[in-house]
Structure 1
Amino acid sequence: MTSPTLPNVQHYEPAPPTKANLEYVDLAVIDFSKAATEEGRAELADKVKEGLHNHGFLYIVNHGYKQEETTRMFDIGDVPFSCVPDNEKPKYAAKMFEAGSEEGYKLRKYWVRDGIPDQLEQYCPNRHVNKLEHPEALLPLLPEIDKFCKFNHFHVLNNILRLIARSLELPEDTLVNKHNWDAPSETAVRFLKYFPSTEEGATDHLLQGHTDFGTVTVLWSQPVAGLQIQTREGEWRWICHMDNALVINVGDGIEFLTGGYYKATIHRVVQPVEDQRQYTRLGVIYFGRADDDVKLMPMAESPVLQREGIERRWDDNQAPTMERWGKERAIAYGKQGVNEVNINGVSVGYHD
């Protein structure tokens, strides 16, 4: 049986790994090949618990995607930026400031900080890829993007959610049931491309320090050093690239749902180091968010949370939904002069 012929896509050549001596954070490595057995899941749940407590970030290896498949997705991820004319992109622009929607393009120079426009461009197709209109260059690639979204959702996101639930001594599908594929939510793949900054007076920070709006973020590792996390001691440390690995972190949604037991980690993207400064930085990320109608209140039925204590940021009847939290954060992010947003009495700021 012959394999189907895939559409031709221009190859994206990533930067070579940096030779700089950087202070990397030591993250737990979760081997997904062990998740097939009860014994393996018990072991992984303990490692997830330790890793999330230590740093809020993890690596996943042996997730099921081959290196050549990952390379192909990075090639596809570059298409919205390299194969779509700049004058066509505004037609598909996201309504971030107007409606808190991140679907479509976030164009370069949309965000402004201290008078300096940003150099990040991103394209976010809905995970249901036929829901939106897309640039013509992407149309032949939608079946592959659809397959990739489903892989991330069912094989990566759901399995991490099961391990988190297990670490809280909850039924494994407790969090999976809050992330339904067919339910309305902002869970989506996002392609991002950082361009070398040419603006006079540009900051070293390409993306301000922040926590992610959703629950679980799945970042496909790429070689341009730039991602840093703030440790529990308040120091900035680099995330090291690992070939064909996934970098996982939890966001605001998990912090609220676990009553502060797992904290969303502040992270940022800075200018690449000198030997990578001339390269673009292409990102492929699957952002997980709970269903729109999920209220962000602690899962108080967890025996672990009952023993360890629950941090309540608001009364349960005042807890915002995932939809409201995500949209209000998206509306505020990147606006000139806006350094924090207050949602139901909880303030979220941005960090240098």
Structure 2
Amino acid sequence: MSSSTQESLTPWQFAPITRCIPEDQYTDLEVIDLSLFSLVSGDAATAQAEAQKELIKRTLNAFNTTGFIALKGHGFTHEELEEQWALGKLLFENVSEEEKHRLLANIKEGSWAGYKPQGYHKRPDGSFDCVEHYDFYPNTMLERNLPEVAKPYVKDFRKFLEHQHYVVFRKLLAVLSLGMELDQDFLWKLHHRGTDMNDGALQGGPDEEINWKHGKDDLRYVMYHPPPEEDREKKKNLWVSGHTDFGSVTFLHSQPIAGLQVLMPNGQWRYIRHYPDHLIVSLGDSMEFLTGGVLKAAPHRVIEPPEDQRHLDRLALVYFFPFLPDVKLSLIDHPSLKKLGAKDVWEEYHKLGGKVLTSTDWIDRRSKLVGTKRLEREDKDAESVLDDIHFRHHPEYAKAAAVAA
């Protein structure tokens, strides 16, 4: 990162930590230092797994219980992360509404690449949708897709995505694979075609077509704006309702405005505290299906920030990792999964004649069911079982379990 780049960006000012949340309303995440793990091959991977058994065990246990970890030792410096927060600020505060409109994502056609404006979603409570975001897929990281003020930073955006995909994500998947007694690269091969550490897909010119042949990763810069006062009651303090993520893994760069809550195994909602310069990592429902629940997708939500932070804009940096589109979401066939207590979520569905679903099949199915209600059917068939699976991993599940919160 050059000094000229630093000088030309206005830093994002982080809010002070809230004083309004009692300590017992937080949950402490398992903190995993990824710098203690290195990628090796062959017999060395097995030897490393033995030497780092405790790190691997703690990671697996966290994703089997709370469903979240706080990740440090990811390789980003404090200055590199500050630059990305500043770039997020730039994308929202230094771009006109006219230019944002020119770069709108084609959401109706299933693409999030570009801007999603405030007010796009019609909230069922009648309140205004105050969230805007700008998304990249790896193959859309081109100068021509950026607003004018952000075009000089196309390489900075690419490096940010590149390191998360090729380094942090790959190492984390290796830890999880070894934890389930699988080959080190087992999960990596379900997300990335080929085994290269970095195949150079993002290293061409700023407007040169990108040959990305892996999963459809989604890097998102999000700005949550405080709602109008008249809408606060309509929202019932809820900004994003309880849900599990699509796909495989989600990285959320920690920031200090409180609001993210995770549904604990006992049915209580608890805040996730701020871990400066850490990645907050959770798993998507497809990862849970593939591993038979050994790795869990934890329901989570975003509620209105506490009183001393309520008036502030909340910037978030998020990275969603899906599986490759043709990956079959069948339970991994390996003795170690059975030993770890894996259960096949698709068993009844397949017995009723349902075909094996790919990652894309499930995302399409779930997208159509979001916002719908469970239909009563006289006879159970494969389609109704799919509905049941969806609603068990849907916001409605989280709402029902949260009654005791």
Q: TM-score, normalised by structure 2?
A: 0.79
Candidates 197, 205, 222, aligned match of 2:227: 197
Q: Tell me which residue corresponds to 2:72.
A: 61
In 2, are the aligned partners of 1:116 and 1:202 still within 8 Å (CA)? yes
Q: Does residue 77 in structure 1 map to residue 114 in structure 2? A: no
Q: Tell me which residue corresponds to 2:5.
A: 6
Counterpart secondary structure, 2:105: coil
How many residues are treated as equivalent by the alignment?
347
Q: Tell me which residue corresponds to 1:110.
A: 120
In 2, are the aligned partners of 1:320 and 1:344 still within 8 Å (CA)? no
* Code of the aligned partner of 1:197: P
Q: Tell me which residue corresponds to 1:25.
A: 27
Q: 1:42 to 1:117 in 2, by over 3 A?
A: same
* Equivalence map 1:258-297=2 (5 Å): 258-297=291-330
Q: 1:339 to 1:224 in 2, by over 3 A?
A: farther
Q: 1:149 to 1:307 in 2, by over 3 A?
A: closer
Q: CA deviation at 1:32?
A: 1.2
Q: 1:171 to 1:184 in 2, by over 3 A?
A: closer
Candidates 306, 311, 318, aligned match of 2:355: 318
Q: Tell me which residue corresponds to 2:105.
A: 94
In 1, are the aligned partners of 2:64 and 2:293 still within 8 Å (CA)? no
User: Which stretch of structure 1 is more off in the superposition, 270-279 or 301-310?
Assistant: 301-310
* Code of the aligned partner of 2:112: E
* Code of the aligned partner of 1:102: W
Q: Tell me which residue corresponds to 2:56.
A: 45
In 2, are the aligned partners of 1:100 and 1:331 still within 8 Å (CA)? no
Deviations 1:192-246 (A, max 9, x none): 1100010433311111110000111111100100100001111100000011111
In 2, are the aligned partners of 1:61 and 1:246 still within 8 Å (CA)? yes
Deviations 1:255-290 (A, max 9, x none): 111022222100000111111111111000111111
Q: 1:304 to 1:3 in 2, by over 3 A?
A: same
Q: Tell me which residue corresponds to 2:290.
A: 257
Q: CA deviation at 1:72?
A: 0.9
CA distance in 2, matches of 1:245, 1:51: 16
Q: CA deviation at 1:326?
A: 2.9
User: Which stretch of structure 1 is more off in the superposition, 43-52 or 219-228?
Assistant: 43-52
User: Taking every aligned residue pair, what percent have the same amino acid on both sides?
Assistant: 31
CA distance in 2, matches of 1:147, 1:40: 31
| RMSD after superposition | 2.5
Deviations 1:133-159 (A, max 9, x none): 222222111100100001111221111
Structure with the largest fraction of strand = 1
Counterpart secondary structure, 2:27: coil
Q: 1:78 to 1:332 in 2, by over 3 A?
A: farther
In 2, are the aligned partners of 1:185 and 1:290 still within 8 Å (CA)? yes
RCO (CA 8 Å, sep 6+): is it higher in 1 or 2?
1
CA distance in 2, matches of 1:132, 1:41: 45
Q: Tell me which residue corresponds to 1:154.
A: 166
CA distance in 2, matches of 1:131, 1:43: 44
Q: Does residue 125 in structure 1 map to residue 136 in structure 2? A: yes
Tell me, which stretches of 5 or more residues in structure 1 are unaligned? none
Counterpart secondary structure, 1:300: coil
Q: 1:309 to 1:44 in 2, by over 3 A?
A: same
* Code of the aligned partner of 1:291: L
Q: 1:339 to 1:102 in 2, by over 3 A?
A: farther
Q: Tell me which residue corresponds to 2:243.
A: 210
